[in-house]
Structure 1
Amino acid sequence: MIGNLRRVSLTLLVILLALGFFASREDPEVTVYSDPSRFDGFTMGTTYSVQFAANVPPDIAAAVEKDTAQLLGKLAKEIFSTYVRSSEISRLSQSSLDAPVQISTEMAEVLQEALKVAAETDGAFDVTIAPLVNLWGFGPQRNNADGAAPSQSSLREALDRVDYRALVLDMSALTLARTSDVEIDLSAIAKGYAVDRVAELLEAYEIHDFFVEVGGELRISGHKDESKRGWVPAIEAPLSGLSQIYEIFLSRGDSIAVAGSGDYRNYFEVDGVRYSHEIDPRSGRPIEHTLAAVTVIDESAMRADALATAYMIMGAEAAKQTADAVGQAAYFIVRSGLGASGEPRFEAQHTEAFARYLVR
């Protein structure tokens, strides 16, 4: 599909899509349903939102909100934050080499999936990418304070410290050993894991119709109201300005996880050259291909999160081929030049598995 962007204000429309307010309250033919329960907050340097359609007593709803905040607070501050020096991930990156370190179940589960996706994508996804992220100025330790691209020598030095194979994970003993001086960065998978954990929490409360979002990563289950309509997520247009919708799709009542990645919001420019935060851990450099954004649907938000990053690094052709080969649902937005007025144009591609969710 080659076409112009759907220039629609995201803020209002996403709320309408999520809550399903497409019916007029004055239409006697239409039944209008009450809002799903909803609460929001901040975690992992971003926002989260939880909606559920179940009719639960107020005390249970309050307990769900409290438990969610506590869960996300623990994951963010105690385990996955590279900005908190006392967090588990910060301590792991300072551990002695070749010495197995006891790790939490949460850390083990995320690392297991991260190493699996790294192997499946030939290193396009690599959680030891931290030295490169910092070198290019996108991490907690910004090494390019002057805004310049790094030198070749510093790039080679950082690359020498990037290799997911230096992480030796023992799931039975819950230990991790580093065989070389690598630093762990789980920012491209931890939010997805957090979404999965919140979904598990809701299911433990026997809430099965919900929409969970953390930093744009989603878990969707069941229906949003009594009419049995599925939730309607949206794919953002790959533009750096005001958020706009490029495509909507339907959950169709399935239990799905959705994650996206793109190169259009976090970047800097030097002498007319644009450097994205999407860094290829194999070359050490920001991506330069025409893939602007990717959305992945999976059963697990953690896996979808990691795959979205990997596909973004691989580029549209290689990523689509890889995804199609394993039946992975993925949607790609590729740059296709400029329009007559200089506006960016895009071409959308998707795998066969994604087709069932599109509105056609």
Structure 2
Amino acid sequence: MLEIIRRHSFFIAFFTLFLVIFFYESIEGAVIERISGFTMGTSYEIQLVDIPTSTNLEELSGGIAELLLELDREVFSTYAEDSELSKFNRHGINSPYAVSNDLLAVLRLSKEIAIESGGVFDVTIGPVVNLWGFGPGRFEQGSLLPSDNAIKNAMTNVGVENLILNIANSEISKTKSIKIDLSGIAKGYAVDQVAVYLESHGVTNYFIEIGGEIKVSGLKPGNLDWVPAIETPLDGPVKVYEVLTNRGEKIALAGSGDYRNFFELDGVRYSHEIDPRTGKPVSDVLAAAFVLDDSAARADALATALMVLGLEESRRFIERNNLKAFLIYRSESAEFNHYVSQDFDGYINRAF
């Protein structure tokens, strides 16, 4: 008899996610201003130091909330029917569709990383994700697992090559009935835009986190580095796996993993990470992937790509492209081990 042992879904709006990457506070008595709220179906927290006298916390909080609401509900949401993305998903084939700079920038980066990763990062994979029950909808409600025919049919409208960008005219179009889902890159882009907003108001020392994707800049009070930490990839209470330091630099850190959004059926584990090459969940020893980059959006997308590639392909991809990356994988003894690229290693905090 089929028995579902465990299932987790983090795609329901208005619920807070456990953070893949979280803030590790180590200074006592420091005054750090904080802003928090909800966006894109998850939570955000922003920590600020040395706010200029020309602005104030209330003004920054309101401006950030307005910015995130616009990016979510008006641009990237697949739940809001009137968002740009939802309208494009309903838009006809081979018909130009005018878009904002934000949507165009994210789609452009998405296509670049799709090419760079050999197609394993694909923002058109949403219908197949839904088919496996990890999205807002599902094609075959009567079956616990999709049939090969159902997967084949869903895959006919998958492929970022069917998305056409006209950068000069700020227009996009599609050559097939593709449906785009930007959940693997939009939060990272939102982090980047909050950073731009803060810097435009003279704030250069900050820690921004949206749904586990972060960007940090400058220093904390006392000229101390910001100290983010990587979580052990276990479905349970948060446990630190590795502590990092930003070295006073502006860096973005994003992660992806298979340990909080999966189901098990008859002893087989099915991850929400779907391989666009096969239309099936990834099955690999790789449990979590983290990427450091100047751009949180790029780090967000690359972390997803690494999870789809699996451990061995990811290592080759990282070395070939000189990525700053940290991979946690399950060893034969079921314990965790890790691989760290040379450039990432310099951000590990040896003091902890």
Give matches, 1:149-160, under 5 Å.
Answer: 149-160=145-156
TM-score when normalising by structure 1: 0.89
What does 1:1-360 correspond to in 2, within 5 Å? 17-18=24-25, 20-21=26-27, 23=28, 32=29, 34-57=30-53, 60-145=56-141, 148-225=144-221, 227-338=222-333, 344-360=334-350
- Provide, for residues 108-139 of structure 1, a one-character-per-residue CA deviation record: whole Å limited to 9, x for no partner: 00000000000000101000011111101111
Partners of 2:194 and 2:69 in 1: how far apart? Answer: 12
Q: Distance in 2 between matches of 1:145 and 1:58?
A: 56
CA distance in 2, matches of 1:190, 1:147: 31
Matching residue's letter, 1:231: W
In 1: Cα distance, 2:307 partner to 2:31 partner: 35
What is the CA deviation profile of residues 59-107 of structure 1, one whole-angstrom value per residue up to 9, with x for unaligned ones? Answer: 6211110000000001111111111111111111111101111011100
**Partner in structure 1 of residue 13 of structure 2:** none
| Deviation, structure 1 residue 35 | 2.0
Amino acid at match of 1:297: L
Counterpart of 2:10?
none
Give the Cα–Cα distance (whole angstroms) in 2 for the partners of residues 55 and 191 of structure 1: 24
Q: Quote how far apart the aligned CAs of 1:334 are.
A: 0.6
Indicate if the aligned counterparts of 1:127 and 1:184 stay in contact, CA closer than 8 A: yes
CA gap of 1:268–1:254, structure 2 versus 1, over 3 A, is: same
Q: CA deviation at 1:14?
A: 5.3
Aligned to 1:5: none
Aligned-partner SS, 1:337: coil
- Offset of 1:143 from its aligned partner? 3.2
TM-score, normalising length: structure 2: 0.91
Output the CA distance in 1 between the equivalents of 2:65 and 2:189. Answer: 15
- The more displaced of 348-357 and 54-63 is 54-63
Helix, strand or coil for the counterpart of 1:315?
helix
CA deviation profile, 1:125-163 (whole Å, cap 9, x unmatched): 000011111101111113354571100100000111110
Contact 1:337 1:346 in 2 (8 A): no
1:27 alignment partner in structure 2: none
What's the CA shift string for 1:221-242, capped at 9, x where partnerless?
A: 01011x2211010111111111
User: CA-to-partner distance for each residue in 1:11-47, whole Å, 9 max, x for gaps?
Assistant: 9x955x24x32x5xxxxxxxx5x32110110000000
- SS for the counterpart of 1:67 is helix
Q: Alpha-carbon deviations, 1:150-190, whole Å to 9, x = none? A: 00100000111110000000111111010111110100000
Unaligned runs of 5+ in 2: 1-17
Aligned residue type for 1:285: K
Per-residue CA deviation, residues 272-316 of structure 1 (Å, 9 max, x unaligned), is 111110111111000001100001000000000000000110012
* 8 Å Cα contact 1:320-1:330 kept in structure 2: no
SS class of match (1:177): strand
Q: Report the Cα distance in structure 2 between the residues aligned to 1:358 and 1:145, rounded to whole angstroms.
A: 46
Unaligned 5+ segments in structure 1 are: 1-9, 24-31, 339-343
Q: How many residues align?
A: 332
Aligned mates of 2:194, 2:342 — CA distance in 1: 29
Contact 2:51-2:203 at 8 Å conserved across structures: no
CA distance in 2, matches of 1:61, 1:218: 20
The RMSD of aligned alpha carbons is 1.7
Q: Secondary structure of 2:199's match? A: helix
Change beyond 3 A, Cα 1:71–1:55: closer
